[in-house]
Amino acid sequence: MLRKLIIAGNWKMNGSRQMAEALIGDVLAHYKVDAKTQVLLFPPAVYLAQTAQLLEGSAVHFGAQTVSEHTSGAYTGEISADMLQDMGCQSVLVGHSERRSLYKESNEDVAAKFMAAKQQGLVPVLCVGESLEQREQKITLDVVLGQIAAIIEENGVNVLENAVIAYEPVWAIGTGLTALPEQAQQVHQAIRQYVADLNEEIAKNLPILYGGSVKPDNAKQLFAMADIDGGLIGGASLKSADFLAIIEQAQQVEK
């Protein structure tokens, strides 16, 4: 086994205290911790304290869905990496496509958030992905590798040590359309090759997750691909039965 499979649940703006308690309770009760998998939860920020409490002492990690690029000060509504770290977060999502499209986060903004997370010792999960239009224009790799280049051109490839990349084709998010395993693998392989050309060791250890309509019935085929190291799961992470079934699928993958 080269890399652990990471099964990450991005709750987006969904849930309640009650739902968090039930869902996390189910995950803790039924996830059979093993050396092959790492489970990671991204609840809304207001539930991080509760999540930290519920997960205390467990093998399940958690983090926030975004982070400020600033360290502190007059940024009403924002949350710093320092605060996330203080709450016990191990990780944070940066550059999710919904942040990029709805909140106009540019590659430069995402790079700054990525670095803010790194500086606090959080594991950034850098989300990248092309729109349907970009795929049709056959510029998928330009877009995806460009999103990664924006981070490493400025800061060097070493920043991808202790980081995660999540490839989430925008056309597959919340649509029920999933990239075919081979289609996703192609992009994952290109990402790993791009990083390997700069540093082979970092590329070898870099977890690259797939996201976009991952469900219990397609997870195993996706996770079985050589360069797919798990999933970033939206809708199906809100139902404990589905999320646990996806974790189980990951545990059955042999590679």
Q: Write the CB contacts of 146 (distance below 8 Å, at least 6 apart in sequence).
A: 107
Q: Write the CB contacts of 81 (distance below 8 Å, at least 6 apart in sequence).
A: 67, 68, 71, 92, 116, 117, 119, 120, 122
Cβ proximity to ligand 13P: between 159 and 214 the closer is 214
Tell the smallest beta-carbon distance from residue 132 to ligand 13P (Å).
Answer: 14
Residue 212 binding ligand 13P, by CB under 6 A: yes
Contact yes or no for 247/237 (Cβ under 8 A): no
Cβ proximity to ligand 13P: between 25 and 174 the closer is 174
Contact yes or no for 71/80 (Cβ under 8 A): yes
Cβ proximity to ligand 13P: between 113 and 157 the closer is 113
What number of CA atoms fall less than 13 Å from residue 137's CA on the CB side?
10
Residue 203 binding ligand 13P, by CB under 6 A: no
Cβ proximity to ligand 13P: between 207 and 235 the closer is 235
Contact yes or no for 203/164 (Cβ under 8 A): no
Tell the smallest beta-carbon distance from residue 235 to ligand 13P (Å).
Answer: 3
Q: Which of 84, 86, 89, 83 is nearest to 55 (CA)?
A: 89
Nearest residue to ligand 13P on Cβ basis: 234
Residue 31 tokens, joined: 């996830």
Would you give the end-to-end CA distance of the chain in angstroms? 7
Tell the smallest beta-carbon distance from residue 126 to ligand 13P (Å).
Answer: 12
**Pick from 80, 213, 240, 249: which binds ligand 13P (CB under 6 A)?**
213
Tell the smallest beta-carbon distance from residue 72 to ligand 13P (Å).
Answer: 28
State the Rg of the chain over Cα: 17
Q: What backbone torsions phi and psi does residue 208 show, to the nearest 5 degrees?
A: -120, 110
Contact mark string toward ligand 13P, 88..127, x via CB under 6 A: --------x-------------------------------
**Pick from 126, 235, 244, 245: which binds ligand 13P (CB under 6 A)?**
235
Give the amino acid at 194: Y
Indicate if 78 belongs to the active site.
no
Indicate if 168 belongs to the active site.
yes
**Pick from 7, 40, 60, 232: which binds ligand 13P (CB under 6 A)?**
232
* Site residues, ligand 13P (CB under 6 A): 10, 96, 168, 173-174, 211-214, 232-236
Active site members: 96, 168
